[in-house]
Amino acid sequence: MNRRALLAFALVSTLAIPAVAQDEPPTFETLLDEAETLEPLETVIISRNGEIVVERGYRGNSVTDSTNIKSASKSIVSALVGIAIDKGVLEGPDQKIAPLLADDLPDGADPRVEDITIGHLLSMQAGLGRTSGGNYGRWVSSGNWVRAALAMPFDDEPGGRMLYSTGSTHLLSAILTKETGRSTLELARDWLGPLDGFRIGSWERDPQGIYLGGNQMAMTPRSLAAFGELYRNGGETADGERLVSADWIETSWQPRTNSRFNGDGYGYGWFLREIAGAEVVYGWGYGGQMLYIVPELELTVVMTSDEASPSARSGHRNDLHALLGEIIEAARRAES
């Protein structure tokens, strides 16, 4: 067993000890003390009802340092789409995308492209072949990422099974850019700018200058926590200013498909699962960039990790889920 596996085992073993076998039940603080044994983990923030109750940076990392949140940015793109719908820029999830991206449709495009909707892109049910995983490098090496995503062969019908693909959220970024005449970064800074603590730093762009929808976005863990709190609070800031409609949040958190990789539900840019008996919605980025929201406990938790280390096949993502489960139990104890 390697060093990382031993450290992870130490954490899970510690967390799994029944409370009666310990001097005191674990608190948020002691849980984050133990979490340091998860070597890829860089930061954790726990927020309850809009207030940060505890936060940690490990191995020289800080909750105020910018980090690449990877695919957790797909949840932010989903928010921008919802705001665009509320503003009348887009018609709604059932709107067909082909007329919006007509200039980028490849010659001889599969006619099924005409059936793809905004909702299909949000829920990863476009049917187009994936541009994530093994296809990602080839996709971002192309001269036109939008056209290349639309030219992928169909692996299912639009509205069929979930095919997790960053190309789908990039198409949403392109649609927002074309329909508003403004960059997606400008929209995010404008539409989400009133949210205290929210800021997007660097963000990769494609050869046409369109910001990469759903990857390569830099934010601080505190900024990601502020975004999570906006959703936990039903789309309103702490000052009561509405930025995202409550209807859109409810719509986004409805399960529409399931991931074949982990079995979790998926809505519009958010994963859904039960952890420690609580319904949890979460954004997940490669390496273990996690934004968890537990509505019933008024709990928002951010965890960031080494972006170069895979979190799924290494088991690190499961370790983070287990840590969240212990945080949930500690939150319940704090309520009693």
For residue 59, pLDDT beyond 70: yes
pTM of the full predicted structure?
A: 0.92
Which pLDDT score is estimated for 60? 96
Q: Report residue 36 as tokens.
A: 């340091």
For residue 92, pLDDT beyond 60: yes
Q: Report residue 193 as tokens.
A: 């700018």
- Higher pLDDT pick, 48 / 16: 48
Choose the weakest-confidence range: 170-174, 236-240, 299-303, 310-314.
Answer: 310-314
248 with 85: CB under 8 angstroms?
Answer: yes
For the chain, the C-alpha Rg in angstroms (whole number) is 20
Q: For tokens 């859109």, what's the residue?
A: 248
Which pLDDT score is estimated for 335? 86
For residue 18, pLDDT beyond 90: no
Dump pLDDT digits (tens) for 232-273: 999 999 999 999 999 999 999 999 999 998 899 999 999 999
294 with 198: CB under 8 angstroms?
Answer: no
